[in-house]
């Protein structure tokens, strides 16, 4: 790694560091005192030499109030605005200054580079390295920082953000998401006004129950799908997060994002390093559509486990049986899965614990031995039975949690997160185990390792996490004289250690990241998981809206979507909605009438034929269900030779539906296409003429009407070049 810029503490010539992707640039520049600021963020200039013309501080400097555009704002010296890094030195002093020392750019390959910038405190032995990893083609930046102290005594990190950005625009529109169980991903867009707007979580585990660490930020005016300047961003961290949006007195915007400092002061011994999680973002001048395709391209290629692979269809028994099953019942369900045509049977909650059997969510969690009454012949027998039926076998676990009514709790009360002197407080009758404790990490790893060792043919894992952290306290940290304030951070680090070890031994087994629905959806966890469970709410009408919002940040290959009995819509509608993700079923197949079964069998065949387009294609959101009485979106292959269009009726007013053509996107204007309807319910006829040929230009300019209406409430079209 060549050092391409260095400077002593007192240098006048500015150092300019452009962090470039194919379309965008973040320009960093030192000022006269060698403080590093952000002078520009946005579309790349064609002449890089002109970055030096951008004034470093003229608009951002206030004589008394410090520099506003800092690339990593320190606390306790010249800066009086919200800091990115705040700490207490070994001698108790709380001041910090950070000046530029050097930077270098290391190329990992033709597409990926990492620029690292070293900043140092001129007085105390504290060093911060800012990292900007760029994915050039995808226009994605992954940013984190590493904080290091060489002071003799330990320092305490009080706030340690991953990223500090600075934007200059006319106005800022923030879209963020709120929700709770079964009501995930409700967007709200707001104009940011002076002061600080905070998005955060303090829940510890199931940290995204009320809010995910994702947002979009439009500049000047609200961005639409195809117009406007917009940043899509997310923090890759499965715990507490905090994102601060501060519109300052110049109407510029400072963004600070990272681990939530709430109750999380982190001691750092001499020569130790603290690496913050990654803040991941992309920017587009052409609206949210392009920005989200940037993220999808990046996530599939570089982040989600097996993101460029494929996914299996499955039959899950949760809603079909809940806790009430036995071997005979399951064997019947294997046959049902086979009849349906799915690849895999997924056995959900309720298969374990004996002293306190897991017959409800009130007992047994933590005791990971097969329940001998329900499964006298163990998991091994089930795997074989499933295989005999011609279907793969997957299994549910919730390894981070414990019911007080369990042998695990009786044996290891010190492994449980709870306050020793206070009454316990539960969510879903359970408590998190203390993953800051290495023994607990081994226990959690051991649950999965035992399952795989004894049953190497287990083909899928659903990893659940159903409780937030109340009464945070770790007996382990106490016993080892560590600060309790490390718990929230060390829990997440402990979780990643387990997942890392698991993936080292079992790199390929698909795993669903489930947290009672969207309680844990982030890009650090998705390094280890192939998909996530967006919500327990599988009412297809609700899912259209939720999946729409998730789709800004996550590609369809990562989104599990099941056909269930939620909602009032017909089976076709439920199926057509679930097809927008990794398709699964959670229904009693034997209750389907003949036509429904026939429809479903054909739908699985159809899905298998087109799922690669949905997983790997470019997504275009065409008609927004929030603003219309129907929704339409399409996936097109990169070669523009095939596309799948989904449209759904979401309103029921008289005449609701697609009465005008929709302009399609992602096709080749010069190619000719035919349009064919998929998933027709037996006995119905399509309103679409299959033999008509359309040019790509026609479909994208004059448009095409899928004819979705009260009689055809969901329509799936295959568009294929001839």
Specify the 3-state DSSP secondary structure of 81. coil
In whole angstroms, what is the distance from residue 471 CA to residue 602 CA?
A: 51
Specify the residue, 361 or 414, whose C-beta has the smaller distance to ligand DGJ. Answer: 361
* DSSP per-residue codes, 129-188: EEEEEEETTTTEEEEEEEEEE--SSPEEEEEEEEEEEEE--S-EEEEEEE--TT---EEE
516 binds ligand DGJ (CB under 6 A): yes
Whether 576 is a known active-site residue: answer no
348 marked ligand binding residue: yes
CB nearer to ligand DGJ: pick between 31 and 464: 464
* Residue 184 interacting with ligand DGJ (CB under 6 A): no
Stretch of 200-208, 510-518, 666-674, 697-705 contacting ligand DGJ, by CB under 6 A? 510-518
**Cβ of residue 27: shortest distance to ligand DGJ, in angstroms?**
44
CB of 466 to ligand DGJ, least distance (A): 6
Q: H or E segment at 607?
A: helix 594-616
Least distance between ligand DGJ and beta carbon 347 (Å): 10
181 is in an annotated binding site: yes
Sequence-ordered list of residues with C-beta below 8 angstroms from that of 445, at least 6 positions apart, any chain: 498, 501, 502
Instruction: Tell me whether residue 629 is one of the annotated catalytic residues.
Output: no
d(CA 696, CA 119): 53
- Per CB under 6 A, does 394 bind ligand DGJ? no
Residue from 356, 396, 463, 646 in contact with ligand DGJ (CB under 6 A): 396
Of the two residues 318 and 681, which places its CB atom closer to ligand DGJ in the complex? 318
* Of positions 124, 443, 529, 533, contacts ligand DGJ by CB under 6 A: 533
**Cα 98 to Cα 34: distance, rounded to the nearest angstrom:** 9
- The answer to the question of whether 318 is labelled as a binding residue is no
For the bound state, the minimum distance from the C-beta of residue 179 to ligand DGJ, rounded and expressed in Å, comes to 14
Residue 514 marked in a binding site: yes
23, 44 in Cβ contact below 8 A? yes
Question: What residues contact residue 281 under an 8 Å CB cut-off, 6+ apart?
Answer: 140, 141, 143, 231, 232, 233, 234
- Give just the sign of the alpha carbon dihedral 299, 303, 306, 311: negative
**DSSP letters spanning 499-546:** HHHHHHH--S--EEE-BTBBTS--TTGGGT-SEE--BS---HHHHHHH
Catalytic residue chosen out of the listed positions 121, 306, 522, 536: 536
Told to check if 181 binds ligand DGJ by CB under 6 A, we report no
Q: Say whether 582 counts as a known binding-site residue.
A: no
Site for ligand DGJ in 353-382 (CB under 6 A): 361
Nearer to ligand DGJ, 315 or 613 (CB): 315
Exactly one of 97, 464, 522, 576 is catalytic; name it. Answer: 464
State the Cα–Cα distance between residues 522 and 545, nearest whole angstrom.
19
Among 223, 514, 544, 644, interactor with ligand DGJ by CB under 6 A: 514
Site string for ligand DGJ, 296-325 (x = CB under 6 A): ----------------------x-------
Give the x-and-dash track for 337-356 against ligand DGJ (CB under 6 A). Answer: -----------xx-------
Asked if residue 606 belongs to a known ligand binding site, the reply is no
To ligand DGJ, the closest distance from the beta carbon of 363 in angstroms equals 12
Minimum distance, C-beta of residue 181 to ligand DGJ, in the bound complex (Å): 9
Cross-strand bridge partners of residue 618: 636
Beta strand ranges found along 307-409 (DSSP E): 314-316, 344-347, 392-397, 401-402
Identify which of 347, 206, 317, 297 has the alpha carbon closest to the alpha carbon of residue 556.
297
User: Is 367 known to sit in a ligand binding site?
Assistant: no
State the DSSP code for 557.
G
Site for ligand DGJ (CB under 6 A): how many residues? 12
Q: Is 218 helix (H, G, I), strand (E, B) or coil?
A: strand
Q: What residue number has its CB nearest to ligand DGJ?
A: 349
Please answer whether residues 699 and 670 qualify as being in contact, where contact means their C-beta atoms are separated by less than 8 angstroms: no
494 binds ligand DGJ, rule: CB under 6 A:
no
**Is position 536 annotated in a ligand binding site?**
yes
Distance CA 648, CA 707 (A): 10
Nearest distance from C-beta of residue 691 to ligand DGJ, angstroms: 44
Residue of 464, 531, 596, 618 interacting with ligand DGJ (CB under 6 A): 464
528 binds ligand DGJ (CB under 6 A): no
Q: Does 536 bind ligand DGJ (CB under 6 A)?
A: yes
Cβ(235)–Cβ(273) under 8 Å? no
The dihedral sign for the CA sequence 471, 472, 478, 484: negative
| Cβ neighbours around 188 below 10 Å, total | 9
> Residues forming the annotated binding site?
181, 348-349, 428, 462-466, 514, 536
Binding-site ranges for ligand DGJ (CB under 6 A) = 318, 348-349, 361, 396, 464, 466, 514, 516-517, 533, 536
Known binding residues for substrate: 181, 348-349, 428, 462-466, 514, 536
Catalytically active residues, by annotation: 464, 536
């Amino acid at each position: 790694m060549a050092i391409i810029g260095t400077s002593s503490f007192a240098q006048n010539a500015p150092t300019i560091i452009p962090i470039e992707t194919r379309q965008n640039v973040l320009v960093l520049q030192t000022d006269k005192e060698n403080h590093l600021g952000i002078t520009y963020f946005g579309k790349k200039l064609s002449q890089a030499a002109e970055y030096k013309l951008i004034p470093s501080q003229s608009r951002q400097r206030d004589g008394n109030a410090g520099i506003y555009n800092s690339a990593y704002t320190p606390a306790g010296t010249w800066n009086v605005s919200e800091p990115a890094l705040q700490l207490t030195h070994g001698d108790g002093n709380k001041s910090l200054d950070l000046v530029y020392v050097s930077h270098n750019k290391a190329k990992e390959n033709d597409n990926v580079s990492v620029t690292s910038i070293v900043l140092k405190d001129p007085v105390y032995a504290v060093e911060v390295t800012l990292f900007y990893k760029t994915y050039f083609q995808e226009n994605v930046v992954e940013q984190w920082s590493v904080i290091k102290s060489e002071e003799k005594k330990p320092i305490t990190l009080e706030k340690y953000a991953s990223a500090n950005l600075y934007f200059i625009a006319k106005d800022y529109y923030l879209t963020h998401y709120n929700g709770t169980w079964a009501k995930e991903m409700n967007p709200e867009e707001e104009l940011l006004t002076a002061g600080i707007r905070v998005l955060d979580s303090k829940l510890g585990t199931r940290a995204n129950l009320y809010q995910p660490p994702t947002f979009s930020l439009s500049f000047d005016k609200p961005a639409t799908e195809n117009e406007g300047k917009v940043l899509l961003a997310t923090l890759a961290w499965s715990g507490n997060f905090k994102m601060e949006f501060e519109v300052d007195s110049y109407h510029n915007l400072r963004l600070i994002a990272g681990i939530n400092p709430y109750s999380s002061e982190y001691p750092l011994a001499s020569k130790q390093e603290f690496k913050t999680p990654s803040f991941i973002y992309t920017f587009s001048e052409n609206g949210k559509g392009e920005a989200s395709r940037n993220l999808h391209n990046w996530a599939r290629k570089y982040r989600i486990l097996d993101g460029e692979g494929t996914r299996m269809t499955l039959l899950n028994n949760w809603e079909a049986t809940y806790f009430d099953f036995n071997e005979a019942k399951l064997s019947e369900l294997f046959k049902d899965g086979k009849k349906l045509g799915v690849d895999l049977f997924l056995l959900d909650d309720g298969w374990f614990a004996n002293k306190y059997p897991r017959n409800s969510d009130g007992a047994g969690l933590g005791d990971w031995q097969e329940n001998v009454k329900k499964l006298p012949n163990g998991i091994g027998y089930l795997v074989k039975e499933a295989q005999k039926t011609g279907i793969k076998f997957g299994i549910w676990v919730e390894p981070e949690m414990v019911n007080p009514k369990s042998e695990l709790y009786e044996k290891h009360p010190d492994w449980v997160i709870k306050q020793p002197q206070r009454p316990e407080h539960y969510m879903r009758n359970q408590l998190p185990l203390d993953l800051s404790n290495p023994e607990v990490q081994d226990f959690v790893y051991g649950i999965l390792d035992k399952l795989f060792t004894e049953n190497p043919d287990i083909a899928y894992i659903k990893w659940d996490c159903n409780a937030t952290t109340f009464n945070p306290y770790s007996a382990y940290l106490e016993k080892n004289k560590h600060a309790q304030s490390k718990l929230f951070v060390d829990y997440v680090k402990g979780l990643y250690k387990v997942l890392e070890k698991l993936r080292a031994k079992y790199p390929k087994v698909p795993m669903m990241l489930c947290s009672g629905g969207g309680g844990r959806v982030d890009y650090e966890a998705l390094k280890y998981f192939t998909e996530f469970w967006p919500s327990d709410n599988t009412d297809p009408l609700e899912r259209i809206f939720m999946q729409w919002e998730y789709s800004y940040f996550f590609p369809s290959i990562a989104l599990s979507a099941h056909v269930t009995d939620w909602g009032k819509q017909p089976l076709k509608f439920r199926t057509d909605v679930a097809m927008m993700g990794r398709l699964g079923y959670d229904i009693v197949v034997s209750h389907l009438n003949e036509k429904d079964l026939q429809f479903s069998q054909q739908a699985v065949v159809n899905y298998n034929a087109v799922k690669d387009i949905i997983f790997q294609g470019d997504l275009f959101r065409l008609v927004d269900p929030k603003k219309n009485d129907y929704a339409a979106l399409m996936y097109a292959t990169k070669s523009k030779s095939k596309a799948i269009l989904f449209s759904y009726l979401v309103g029921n007013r008289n005449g609701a539906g697609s009465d005008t053509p929709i302009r399609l996107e992602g096709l080749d204007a010069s190619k000719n296409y035919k349009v064919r309807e998929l998933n027709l319910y037996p006995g119905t006829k399509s309103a679409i003429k299959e033999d008509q040929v359309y040019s790509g230009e026609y479909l994208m300019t004059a448009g095409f009407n899928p004819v979705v209406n009260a009689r055809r409430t969901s329509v799936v079209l295959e568009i294929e070049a001839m």
